[in-house]
Every structure is written in structure tokens, then in C-alpha cells.
A = this chain, B = another copy of it.
Amino acid sequence: MADPAHRPGLVPGYNVPAAIGMSIDEVFTPALIVDLDAFERNVRTMAAFVREAGVRLRAHAKTHKSADIARYQIAQGGACGICCQKTSEAEALVEAGITDILVSNEVTDPKTIDRLARLCARARIVVCVDDAANVDALSAAAARHGAMLECLVEIDVGAGRCGVRPGDDAVRLAERIAAAPHLTFSGLQAYHGSAQHLRAFAERRGAIEAAVAMTRDTVARLDARGLSCAIVGGAGTGTFQFEGTSGVYNELQCGSYVFMDADYGRIRDESGAPIGTFENSLFILTSVMSHAKPDMAVCDAGLKVQSVDSGLPVVFGRSDVTYLKCSDEHGVITDPTGALRISDRLRLVPGHCDPTCNVHDWFVGVRGGRVECLWPVTARGRAF
């Protein structure tokens, strides 16, 4: 994998948490570290699944925003391309050499639509649509740039967010796309985001069964109008087995599988056990920086290095200490047995991987206790 970290101007402890070759014990904390062995196993596990299921994987880069990881998912992980959520993310990934990108989201700002259309000269670009006027705006922008822009109709299959209703509303929008100059109707976006984190297996399966039924029906109505879906996309790390074996979805958009997080650690398989398909490979490396009370330590990882929207982080591999509360720059750790000392290091499994990666500038890739690579969070700050 490319290592862009050998650049002048990078100073470990100032603007990057580590240097290649360092022992993990020397990494400046707090830092976002990737256990490369676990990461690679996760990538292989997903690649094997999609190969066996006979579906494509379009790995979601909103998890990591990293060109290095995106390239690895395509080169080694069975991915046909990448999803991202924003035009500026797509630009950053195209800049880094990714050539097949689905913006799995609506793009409605006129200036941003123009940027998206311009990008078609450099990569295959697909975008989602849930509004008729947006179809016209996309078509006009593609015409200005002499581009053909591929569009998916986004249908709301239960997430309660973007997307038109499945069925005839979707067909009407697809027909408008198909009739628009410089646009190609390429299929459906049918992602059920809120199903990913439902705790119980049966709940997740039920939600996706309903999504599959709506999607199947919509595909059939489109077929009846002569509109075939090259892409029927959706699925995430919590439910991909269901979409992947549905016979309806043909592109899976999983992202978190490369890293996992504490919230995914709380979802259950059919037997009621934690899902064992993927391993935690993403950690916040943190140091104890204060231990002025006997049963309480304070670590250097607070809100500035993680998102706690899905709960607090979990201390990895330790049952004797617990991350209790979080402020801007501190985490309070209960230490009832007084096991911790100042400068002791802990690995935290973040509550939610995607927004946690989003606050870091670097992934520190670690193998065998050494820093093997530094991957910039390429599209960090690209929110437009």
C-alpha cells in the first residue's frame, strides 16, 4: 500500500501521531490505530462472502475516508468500486486514483451538481435521486460537461430518511431519468440504514425481508416498463447476508466491516451471541494521564478523538477497568483494583467507527507491535 507519510513537514507528536517503524509503545496518544492483521482478515472475509453469494461489493468509504483503504478494498478485497456520501469525498477519491464511485446520496446544490458532472470525465460516477426537479438539474449539468451521469432512484425501504416510496413513485422518477438527456438510469438505491444496528437477529432479518419485498416489487415494475436495474444497491455490515442472498440486491455497500465498533459489538446473531463474522481492527490508543484518586484513572481520549453518538467506547481486552464518562479531552476510567498507572496504555473500541475516523487525520497501521504504515484520512473535512 502506498505510504504518503514520508513527506517533509510531518512531525510525530505535532501533526502526525507516529512514524513508520516505531514501536506501538512510542506512538503519541491519543491515536487511531488499525490492527492490520485483523483489518486484512475482515477484508478477506467479506470478499469471500460476495464471491460465494455471486454479488458485487461496492465498499463504503464513508467509514474510513481513506484512499489507501479504498484502493486495498478494490485490489485485494473483491470490491468493484467505492461508495461515498459527498461530492467532495468523491473528488478526493478520484484524485487518489479511484475510478468507480457511487455517491450513495442526493446531490442538490447547483454548484455541487456542477462539480459532480465535471468529475464524470475522470471516473465512472453514479448518484442517487429522489426528486424530479433534481433529475432536470443533473441532466443540465451533465449536458454542460458533455458527460453521461448514471443515476439510481433512491427508495425508502424503511430507513425513514431520503428516498421516494417504492413502487410507482420510483417508476415515475426512473422514467424521468431515462428520458433526460445525458443521464442513464442505472437502478435502485435501497439501503436500510436503521436496520443495521437492530440488536436482535430476527429484527434485522424482518426489516430486510420487508426491504427486499419492496425492492423486488419495484424492480419488477421497472422491468415491465423496460427499465432494467444494472445496480440494485444497499446493505450494511449488520444485514448484508440478507440482502446478499436475496436474489434481488446485486451490490452490497458495507463499510464498517473493515473496522467494526462497540455498537456493532452489541448486535446479536441467530443464537443470541455477538456476531463473530468480523473482528475489531480499529482502536483509539490512549494513555493514562492522571491517577490522583485510587480507584479512578483519567485517560487522554475524550470527545475530540471520537464520536459518542452510539455510546461510550469499550476498553479492549480488559474486564477490570471501564470507560465511565467522557469530556472534551478526557476519559474517566474506573479502576477499582488500582491496576492502572500513569502512562499505561489502553485500546478503546470506539462506539461508532465512521464519525470517529472523521475526527482523525491519520490511521496508524500496526502489525506485530510496530507501526507499518500511516494512512491519511484522505477525505477528512470533505463534507460538501
Chain B positions within 8 Å of A156 at CB level: 292-293
Q: Which residue on chain B has the smallest CB distance to residue A62?
A: B328
Given A162-B330, A290-B162, A298-B161, residue A28 in contact with residue B384 (CB < 8 A): yes
Q: How many copies does the complex hold?
A: 2
Q: Which residue on chain B has the smallest CB distance to residue A104?
A: B329
Chain B positions within 8 Å of A355 at CB level: 303-304, 328
A164 to B68, CA, bound (A): 45
Chain A interface mostly? loop
Whether the pair A383, B111 counts as a contact (CB closer than 8 A) is: no
Which one of A133, A164, A383 has the greatest number of beta carbons of chain B within 10 Å?
A: A383
Name the contact of A384 in the complex, choosing from B29, B161, B292, B296 (C-beta under 8 A).
B29
Asked if A260 is an interface residue, CB under 8 A from chain B, the answer is no
Q: Which residue on chain B has the smallest CB distance to residue A193?
A: B327
Interface size class of A (residues with CB under 8 A): 35 or more
Asked if A188 is an interface residue, CB under 8 A from chain B, the answer is no
Whether the pair B382, A15 counts as a contact (CB closer than 8 A) is: yes
**Please, what's the 1-or-0 string for A283-315, where 1 marks a CB less than 8 Å from any CB in chain B?**
000011111110010101001110111000000
Chain B positions within 8 Å of A304 at CB level: 354-355, 358, 383
A106 to B111, CA, bound (A): 46
Whether the pair A287, B109 counts as a contact (CB closer than 8 A) is: yes
Name the contact of A309 in the complex, choosing from B17, B130, B193, B308 (C-beta under 8 A).
B308
Interface residues of A (CB under 8 A from B): 13-15, 17, 26, 28-31, 62, 85-88, 91-92, 105-112, 115, 130-131, 133-134, 156, 160-165, 193, 287-293, 296, 298, 300, 303-305, 307-309, 326-330, 332, 342-343, 352, 354-355, 358-361, 381-384
Per CB-CB distance, the 10 closest pairs between chain A and chain B, nearest first, are: A162-B290, A28-B384, A361-B381, A303-B355, A85-B329, A130-B292, A108-B289, A164-B292, A304-B358, A328-B354
